[in-house]
Structure 1
Amino acid sequence: MGQHKKIAPMGQPGDSDLRLLRIYRKVVECGGFSAAEIELGISRAAISMAMSDLETRLGLRLCQRGRSGFALTSEGTEVYQSALQLLAAVEGFRTQVNGLHAQLKGELNIGITDNLVTMPEMHITHALSALKERGPDVRINIRMIPPSDIELAVLDGRLHTGVIPNLKTLPGLNYLALYEEKSRLYCAVGHPLFNTVDITKETLSDYDAVVPAYAQTPEIKSVHDSLKASASATDREGVAFLILSGRYIGYLPTHYAERWVHDGQMRPLLSNQWHYLTRYSAITRKGGMSNLVLESYLEELNKLINKPDI
């Protein structure tokens, strides 16, 4: 009977391993070797060789590549997630050591929920600007991902901080209240209600509405339950697409809808009756490693939050 080849367990990762993992991370994020060439600044042949070296080092097949395209194996997906944690930990160590010299160097990895850039308070934008002024060499990496993914990434160290709506409280996270976001009910040009003045709750139930397919608080969900839900969207941009078709009514944050209202493409429907608030917080991991870059960012964020109104 044949014997299975025994794979020696991987030893302590060194600089060369970290280099290979950084290349692998970029290949996965770019979706293949070709797209990663420009990002990495090395040839496709060099990337292919690096991937072969990494697979040999790990004793695992990480991805399928060829004419059929690029795809991760199940082992490759797990290695990618582990690589994100390892590289974030290495960067956290570097940032911490640099902090001993009272110099802001290193990275800030932040996750943000979609469509917050138009918030009038701009706390995140101003805090990032102040951080960059304090540490010109700081590298800021933003990932636009769903709230649940942000929570997990902050908990396992892939992200230093995140901005999410207050849907639930997890025991492993710290929460810093940022602001409230007001949403109103809208329709667009071409919709029968766009030029209608006398609108009642009963009137609304006759018209198709787009509702969110993402998590909501029970209070916000009850507001949508009164609508005639005939379409859904996984984010606010999707809701806006359907409202702008002129066939649906739906809720959007006022700051996000303002551009279309200003251009006469949308109008709010009885704003005094149909609106709700979503509260947002900045999250960090409880008991995380000391990180001067993160601490400086949170310090600037707190200054903005606690700034008295003039």
Structure 2
Amino acid sequence: MKSFQSQVSDADLRILRIYRTVVECGGFSAAEIELNISRAAISIAISDLETRLGFRLCQRGRSGFSLTNEGSQVYEYTLQLLSSIEDFRTQINALHQHLQGELNIGITDNLVTLPHTRITHSLAGLKDKGPKVKVNIRMIPPTEVERGVLDGGLHIGIVPDLKVLSGLDYRPLYEEESKLYCSDQHPLFTLSDKDINKAKLKQYDAVLPAYAQTPEVKAQHQPLHTSATATDREGIAFLILTGRYIGFLPDHVADHWVRDGRMRAILPAECRYITQFSAITRKGARNNLVLETFLEELDKTT
């Protein structure tokens, strides 16, 4: 008799499940319907299992189907093995249902108004699976988010893709469109776009973001007459609403002011850019079941 020394593979488990069904159905013919595979495929699977084990498991033929002594023992062992796998799955699922610990997440400002609320849905899913999980959100600039994830103070961060750092893994989340806006108190508000050109825009004060920008964003700001800066999008909105400045804002941030008639986009076909946002985690970080569950929920929202 051969010894079963090598690892049990997924293929072995599949064949063992076929064998269990054959035994419980009392033969190949009845198992054919249950397994939804042909009798020939079942016969090949059982023959492969017998070759793998080194002995005959059952008698089959005109005299009917019956197990050998070894076949009966293998059936019992198969039940134990498959039951253990199912127990393992159940226990892991139970862990997910009783998650405990913390999720420390850093988020760039003013993303809550995005129409695709992937972060919100993912946090809701995490809370459903782990009612005892404590979620800690820090609203900080992108560079601080990256630093927090790299040094382990944050489990995950949500940042614009301004640069790719080698120590981080990136999961694309959102594309955010920004346009150039003025308020209803600004001279440009009542002008039509045909009466405005980029040369005319230089006559008006503009606000420049005081944080890292992609070359595309820098190119959009280059022609403007910048006389103020802001460290975040909320600060830019404050200055635009004074009626003394024009500036770029994400459409989802400006939307409620636009609907209220307090802001408008200027030359929207020309003065616009796209920013990609990603979820970042540290490469090689120790497995964290809370974080893994949050990432699973995040993947579901795609």
TM-score tier by shorter-chain length is 0.5 to 0.7
Once residues 160 and 150 of structure 2 are traced to their aligned partners in structure 1, the CA distance between those partners, rounded to angstroms, is 16
Give the CA deviation at 1:101. 4.4
Structure-2 residue corresponding to 1:221? 218
Look up the SS of the partner of 2:105 in the other structure: strand
Residue-by-residue CA offset, 1:54-94 (whole Å, 9 max, x unaligned): xxxxxxxxxxxxxxxxxxxxxxxxxxxxxxxxxxxxxxxxx
Asked whether the 8 Å contact 1:184–1:276 carries over to 2, the reply is yes
Q: Label 1:117 to 1:275 Cα distance change in 2 as closer, same or farther (>3 A).
A: same
Give the CA deviation at 1:222. 1.1
1:137 to 132, 139, 159: 132
1:292 aligns with 2:289: yes
Structure-1 residue corresponding to 2:51? none
Residue-by-residue CA offset, 1:125-152 (whole Å, 9 max, x unaligned): 1110111111111110000111111111
TM-score, normalised with respect to structure 1: 0.65
Give the CA deviation at 1:188. 0.3
Q: Kindly report which structure 2 residues correspond to 1:101-180, keeping only aligned pairs within 5 A, or say none.
A: 101-102=95-96, 103-180=98-175
Look up the SS of the partner of 1:193 in the other structure: helix
Structure-2 residue corresponding to 1:51? none
Structure-1 residue corresponding to 2:265? 268
Once residues 103 and 94 of structure 2 are traced to their aligned partners in structure 1, the CA distance between those partners, rounded to angstroms, is 17
Once residues 216 and 116 of structure 1 are traced to their aligned partners in structure 2, the CA distance between those partners, rounded to angstroms, is 17
Which portions of structure 1, spanning 4 or more consecutive aligned residues, are displaced by more than 4 angstroms? 98-102
Amino acid at match of 1:300: E
Residue-by-residue CA offset, 1:180-235 (whole Å, 9 max, x unaligned): 10000100011110100121111111111111111101111111011111111111
Q: Kindly report which structure 2 residues correspond to 1:49-128, keeping only aligned pairs within 5 A, or say none.
A: 101-102=95-96, 103-128=98-123
Once residues 108 and 184 of structure 1 are traced to their aligned partners in structure 2, the CA distance between those partners, rounded to angstroms, is 34
Once residues 99 and 129 of structure 1 are traced to their aligned partners in structure 2, the CA distance between those partners, rounded to angstroms, is 18
Give the CA deviation at 1:100. 9.4
Once residues 217 and 204 of structure 1 are traced to their aligned partners in structure 2, the CA distance between those partners, rounded to angstroms, is 21
Amino acid at match of 1:133: D
Once residues 175 and 224 of structure 1 are traced to their aligned partners in structure 2, the CA distance between those partners, rounded to angstroms, is 27
Q: Kindly report which structure 2 residues correspond to 1:244-283, keeping only aligned pairs within 5 A, or say none.
A: 244-283=241-280
Look up the SS of the partner of 2:137 in the other structure: strand
Amino acid at match of 1:150: V
Once residues 160 and 262 of structure 1 are traced to their aligned partners in structure 2, the CA distance between those partners, rounded to angstroms, is 37
Name structure 1 gaps, 5 residues minimum. Answer: 1-97, 306-310
| RMSD, matched Cα | 1.4
Look up the SS of the partner of 2:121 in the other structure: helix
Once residues 99 and 126 of structure 1 are traced to their aligned partners in structure 2, the CA distance between those partners, rounded to angstroms, is 20
Give the CA deviation at 1:113. 0.3
Q: Percent identity?
A: 60
